[in-house]
Amino acid sequence: MDSEDDSPLGYDAFRRTCPSHTVLEMLASKWVYLTVCALRRGRLRNGELARKMEGITPKMLTQTLRVLERDGLVRREVFPVIPPRVEYELTELGQNLAGLLSQIRSWAEEHAPEIKEARGRASADHDEMAAS
């Protein structure tokens, strides 16, 4: 192990039993990325989130919001009106994470053309090998 890699707090995401490893696991979800990015500008209702994230199923959205709420990244507020209105917003910790995840999202958007090209080359190489 490289000592420079060590966290000053003694946490090490490379160790499966380290709590930070389970935090990485939680973050390893495109819906977590997108939900946190979507809430960055302010609170949204369930339906607004669903419309923003193309392709998310109601079940996946509920599951993602529950995980984010459980981990203290998102706060859920229920307004006692009829029908009840439920809104979600980032906590301070969630806002802190949102800055980083937005950079990942921007990186994905900025480098998508390069990666698409690399994928095209890889698949052409594969076809060539299969044909020879």
Where do we find the tokens 């996946």? Answer: 60
Work out how close the CB of 132 gets to a second copy at its nearest, in angstroms, rounded to a whole number: 18
CB of 48 to a second copy, least distance (A): 11
Cβ neighbours around 74 below 10 Å, total? 22
Using the rule CB under 8 A, is 13 a contact of a second copy? yes
Looking at 1-132, list the stretches that DSSP marks H as alpha helix, in order from N- to C-terminal side. Answer: 19-27, 30-38, 46-52, 58-70, 92-131
* Nearer to a second copy (CB atom), residue 90 or residue 97: 97
Contact at 8 Å (CB) between 35 and 5? no
Binding site for a second copy (CB under 8 A): 1-2, 4-5, 7, 9, 11-30, 32-34, 37-38, 41, 52-55, 69-72, 93, 96-97, 100, 103-119, 121-122
